């Protein structure tokens, strides 16, 4: 009979220390270096002197362009969040609780804008509604109206951010509404309430936690969003914190320490909001929204059925159909100048040369390859890390596992652009990593830690610990138990999490914007650089390729691997 002595203390602590060290490098170190850079007067580049401490970087945030950017961030954040909530919640209620015709279409309308990343959404809307040359303005002029729409404005940015961030509230509120026990509403009708009262004081009150969660999540995402204000704001000098950080870094003379201070401030703002969101969700968990499978009874809309459907269709048109039409229009035009609406349908001015040029260009192929490599690297190495982390947190009783779970959620509060900046300052001294694809892989693994860890955790939690314990009772050791029982049961979940990581890395621009070099451009960066260079038809063509790629990937992930995530 085998007898093992109680395992020694050091041996038991070793995995914890290794995991803590990895998380330290991925999460704590970049943020620490960023903070350091924000308090000195010399950027932490290789060969530069250590510099002396100063609070001047923070003082500079309160004046001029920096202060305006802060103000814009708040205004755009609040406005776009309100718009996103209105769209997201009404679509969620329509899809979950009414007998709207074509419910599948409504469901699709709620999610699809996520496939069109905010970068492509912003680019397409600049094609649609830029002053003068925007297709919508051309159309308006053709019917004798003045130039009406201008997306290069604060309301324009609010509008575009609002429509592209609506899916997050849609997903959260939709799932809460689907899980709501319909008897709670029926009871209100029985006790004499009318439809409007039930909707206001029962239905939406019960999903308040989801609503508040969606609101704070959306606010954080919009405030940290970089592509939308960069594409739509910079032509007219409108900046938010993220685009201002980029401007401080990218325009000469660059002010990297001020940029770091701005990044730290943005980090503090988002961190406080994420913390508040967690507090709200922790204290207001209503037990009525259970995991039990109810068939929600649907509200008969009567004569409102088609108007309600039209609302959903209009949203789909604005968020998906028009932008894609604009990209197609721009891609297939031989002459970039469009005189009037008739010219948009003039067969002679169309050709496939833009698309062919883009498809055959070695730059696009190189950046697509880079994207796939970075995405795969993040998915495989990140997936393994999240798996080990999840196992340690959920399947051992070691002390310290709570700290790991806690630190793993930190990046959720860190803006993507700020992560990139932190990694830049941390790794710029290590030429073996910096300037290669490895730095991008590392940054994505760190940035996507919360999603990856949660994805793996949820599949681990679904496997009842009894299943593994009974294998041990039957004579299997720990490794054997993992291999024969745990792995087969969580395989699908792990693969779908890896796929999620792959897609989210493919979609990401902001993390990479400070970390790429000319040899390590990923697809999103190539599109952005082409846009900055001012050549719109190739931008449109590449965007089409990009979203087609994302769409296929996401479809495969959802259809065949059951990927269901707030971000997908």
| Residues at the site binding other proteins, with contacts judged by CB under 8 A | 1-6, 464, 466-467, 469-477, 480, 484-485, 488-489
Residues 238 and 222: beta-carbon distance below 8 Å:
no
Separation CA 258–CA 264 (nearest Å): 10
Query: Nearest to residue 568, comparing CAs of 414, 463, 448, 459?
Result: 448
Query: How near is the Cβ of 175 to other proteins at its closest, in Å?
Result: 24
Beta bridge partners of 180: 289
Query: How near is the Cβ of 278 to other proteins at its closest, in Å?
Result: 24
Nearer to other proteins, 1 or 62 (CB): 1
SS3 per-residue string spanning 124-166: HHHHHHCCCCCHHHHHHHHCCCCCCCCCCCHHHHHHHHHHHHH
Pull the structure tokens for residue 196: 């409007």
Count Cα atoms within 13 angstroms, Cβ side, for 78: 5
Nearer to other proteins, 365 or 472 (CB): 472
Query: How near is the Cβ of 359 to other proteins at its closest, in Å?
Result: 44
Count Cα atoms within 13 angstroms, Cβ side, for 500: 26
Nearer to other proteins, 8 or 295 (CB): 8
Nearer to other proteins, 10 or 62 (CB): 10
Reduced to 3 states (helix: H, G, I; strand: E, B; else coil), residue 333 is strand
Nearer to other proteins, 462 or 517 (CB): 462
Say whether the peptide bond before residue 253 is cis (omega within 30 degrees of 0): yes
Query: Nearest to residue 214, comparing CAs of 170, 258, 161?
Result: 170
Nearer to other proteins, 13 or 278 (CB): 13
Separation CA 423–CA 429 (nearest Å): 11
Query: How near is the Cβ of 454 to other proteins at its closest, in Å?
Result: 23
201 DSSP assignment:
I
Query: How near is the Cβ of 400 to other proteins at its closest, in Å?
Result: 16
Residue 322 CB partners (closer than 8 Å, separation 6+)? 124, 128
Query: How near is the Cβ of 331 to other proteins at its closest, in Å?
Result: 47
Pull the structure tokens for residue 310: 């039209």
Query: How near is the Cβ of 495 to other proteins at its closest, in Å?
Result: 15
Pull the structure tokens for residue 314: 């209009």
Nearer to other proteins, 6 or 143 (CB): 6
Length of the chain: 568
Nearer to other proteins, 335 or 472 (CB): 472
Query: How near is the Cβ of 390 to other proteins at its closest, in Å?
Result: 19
Nearer to other proteins, 474 or 552 (CB): 474
Query: How near is the Cβ of 473 to other proteins at its closest, in Å?
Result: 5
Angle, helices 401-409 vs 449-462, to 10°: value is 130
Separation CA 525–CA 542 (nearest Å): 11
Query: How near is the Cβ of 396 to other proteins at its closest, in Å?
Result: 13
Nearer to other proteins, 129 or 485 (CB): 485
Separation CA 305–CA 106 (nearest Å): 12
Separation CA 258–CA 366 (nearest Å): 34
DSSP secondary structure letters along 54-103: -SHHHHHTTSHHHHHHHHHHHHHHHHHHHHHHHHHHHHHHHHHHB--SSH
Separation CA 490–CA 501 (nearest Å): 17
Alpha carbon 171 to chain centroid, angstroms: 13
Separation CA 296–CA 237 (nearest Å): 49
Burial letters 498-537, b for 16+ CB under 10 A, else e:
bbbbbbbbbbbbbbbbbbbeeebbbbbbbbbbbbeeeebb
Count Cα atoms within 13 angstroms, Cβ side, for 294: 20
Query: How near is the Cβ of 362 to other proteins at its closest, in Å?
Result: 46
Separation CA 231–CA 124 (nearest Å): 10
Nearer to other proteins, 1 or 190 (CB): 1
Query: How near is the Cβ of 124 to other proteins at its closest, in Å?
Result: 45
Residue recorded with tokens 């510099």: 51
Nearer to other proteins, 254 or 472 (CB): 472
Query: How near is the Cβ of 491 to other proteins at its closest, in Å?
Result: 9
Query: How near is the Cβ of 292 to other proteins at its closest, in Å?
Result: 17
């Amino acid at each position: 009979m085998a007898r093992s002595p109680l395992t020694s203390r050091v041996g038991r602590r070793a995995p914890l220390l290794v995991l803590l060290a990895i998380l330290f490098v991925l999460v704590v170190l970049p943020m620490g270096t960023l903070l350091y850079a924000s308090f000195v007067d010399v950027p932490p580049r290789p060969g530069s002197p250590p510099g002396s401490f100063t609070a001047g970087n923070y003082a500079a945030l309160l004046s001029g362009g920096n202060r305006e950017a802060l103000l814009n961030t708040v205004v755009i954040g609040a406005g776009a969040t309100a718009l996103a909530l209105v769209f997201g919640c009404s679509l969620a209620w329509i899809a979950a609780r009414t007998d709207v015709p074509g419910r599948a279409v409504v469901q699709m309308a709620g999610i699809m804008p996520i496939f069109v990343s905010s970068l492509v959404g912003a680019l397409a809307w600049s094609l649609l509604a830029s002053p003068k040359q925007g297709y919508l303005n051309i159309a308006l002029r053709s019917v004798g109206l003045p130039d009406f729409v201008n997306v290069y404005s604060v309301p324009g940015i609010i509008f575009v951010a609002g429509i592209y961030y609506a899916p997050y509230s849609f997903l959260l509120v939709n799932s809460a509404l689907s899980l709501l026990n319909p008897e709670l509403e029926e009871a209100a009708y029985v006790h004499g309430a009318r439809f409007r009262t039930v909707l206001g004081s029962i239905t939406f009150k019960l999903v308040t936690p989801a609503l508040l969660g969606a609101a704070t999540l959306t606010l954080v995402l919009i405030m940290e969003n970089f592509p939308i204000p960069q594409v739509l704001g910079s032509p007219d000098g409108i900046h938010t914190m993220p685009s201002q950080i980029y401007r401080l870094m990218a325009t000469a003379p660059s002010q990297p320490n001020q940029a770091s201070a701005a990044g730290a401030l943005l980090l503090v703002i988002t961190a406080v909001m994420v913390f508040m969101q967690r507090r709200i969700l922790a204290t207001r968990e209503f037990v009525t929204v259970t995991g039990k499978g109810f068939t929600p009874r649907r509200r008969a809309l009567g004569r409102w059925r088609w108007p309600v459907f039209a609302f959903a269709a209009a949203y789909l048109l604005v968020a998906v159909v028009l932008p894609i039409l604009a990209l197609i229009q721009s891609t297939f035009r031989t002459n970039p100048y469009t005189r009037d609406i008739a010219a948009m349908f003039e067969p002679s001015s169309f050709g496939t040369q833009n698309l062919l040029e883009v498809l055959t260009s070695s730059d696009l192929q190189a950046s697509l390859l880079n994207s796939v490599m970075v995405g795969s690297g993040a998915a495989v190495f990140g997936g393994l890390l999240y798996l080990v982390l999840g196992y340690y947190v959920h399947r051992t009783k070691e002390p310290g596992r709570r700290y790991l779970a806690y630190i793993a959620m930190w990046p959720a509060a860190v803006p993507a652009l700020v992560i990139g900046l932190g990694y830049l300052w941390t790794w710029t001294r290590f030429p073996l990593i910096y300037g290669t694809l490895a730095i991008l892989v590392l940054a994505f693994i760190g940035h996507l830690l919360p999603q990856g860890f949660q994805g793996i955790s949820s599949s681990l939690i679904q496997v009842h610990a009894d299943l593994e314990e009974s294998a041990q009772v039957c004579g299997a050791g720990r490794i054997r138990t993992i291999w024969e029982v745990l792995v087969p049961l969580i395989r699908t979940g792990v693969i779908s999490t890896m796929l999620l990581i792959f897609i989210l890395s493919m979609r990401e621009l902001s993390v990479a914007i400070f970390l790429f070099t000319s040899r390590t451009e990923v697809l999103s960066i190539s599109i952005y650089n082409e846009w900055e260079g001012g050549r719109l038809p190739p931008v449109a063509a590449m965007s089409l390729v990009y979203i087609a790629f994302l769409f296929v990937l996401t479809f495969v992930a959802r259809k065949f691997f059951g990927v269901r995530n707030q971000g997908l």
